């Protein structure tokens, strides 16, 4: 049995999810929803790992925008909510929609990259080039021990003179 996507109005933009489920099957539609939710969860994970408040709020806002757009499209296609004409990200037909979603993904990529470089810059390195993460008290102990060492070296230099 082959589906009839011509019976669905505005199949390229508004009812693309309904058309996908009719042509490929409900299992593929469920897998598509799982893929979209996984993408949303990764966006939230990136937002939670951000140290900078601006980047964190930007990532949260864009991830909510993404999942809300998906909810409006799929919810409108299954008659759960009124159809608004919002496109399904990266699936519906429309050049400006694809460009805006790609820009949103690139912003997420940039936020993730910036966060990774900040983590690397904040870590300290050992002599064997392994990276360790120190908390505030450990850093303070190291600084105090270095100061004590410097004082001992100075007193030894004074004694030798």
- In the chain (161 residues long), the average pLDDT of successive 10-residue segments reads 61 72 86 94 93 92 94 84 82 84 93 85 54 64 72 73 66
List, in sequence order, every residue forming a beta bridge with 45; answer none if it has no partner.
none
19: which 2 tokens?
């058309």
Reported pTM: 0.66
Query: In whole angstroms, what is the distance from residue 26 CA to residue 63 CA?
Result: 26
pLDDT value, residue 128: 47
Query: In whole angstroms, what is the distance from residue 30 CA to residue 78 CA?
Result: 13
Helix H or strand E segment including 154: helix 136-160
Query: In whole angstroms, what is the distance from residue 121 CA to residue 118 CA?
Result: 5
For 54-83, letters b (16+ CB in 10 Å) and e give ebbebbbebbeebbebbebbbbbbeeeeee
pLDDT value, residue 5: 58
pLDDT value, residue 161: 66
Query: In whole angstroms, what is the distance from residue 51 CA to residue 44 CA?
Result: 14
pLDDT value, residue 123: 64
Query: In whole angstroms, what is the distance from residue 4 CA to residue 1 CA?
Result: 10
27: which 2 tokens?
């299992």
79: left (phi over 0), alpha (psi -120 to 50) or beta: left
């Amino acid at each position: 049995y082959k589906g009839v996507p011509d019976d669905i109005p505005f199949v390229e933009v508004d009812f693309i999810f309904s058309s996908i489920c009719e042509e490929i099957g409900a299992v593929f539609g469920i897998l598509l929803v799982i893929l979209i939710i996984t993408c949303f969860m990764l966006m939230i994970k990136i937002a939670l790992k951000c140290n900078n408040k601006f980047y964190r709020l930007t990532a949260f806002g864009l991830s909510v925008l993404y999942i809300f757009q998906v909810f409006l499209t799929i919810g409108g296609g299954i008659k759960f909510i009124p159809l608004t004409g919002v496109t399904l990200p990266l699936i519906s037909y429309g050049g400006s929609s694809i460009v805006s979603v790609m820009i949103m993904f690139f912003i997420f990529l940039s936020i993730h990259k910036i966060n990774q470089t900040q983590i690397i810059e904040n870590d300290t390195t050992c002599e064997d080039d392994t990276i360790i993460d120190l908390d505030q008290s450990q850093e303070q102990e190291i600084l105090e021990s270095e100061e004590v060492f410097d004082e001992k070296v100075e007193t030894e230099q004074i004694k030798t003179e």
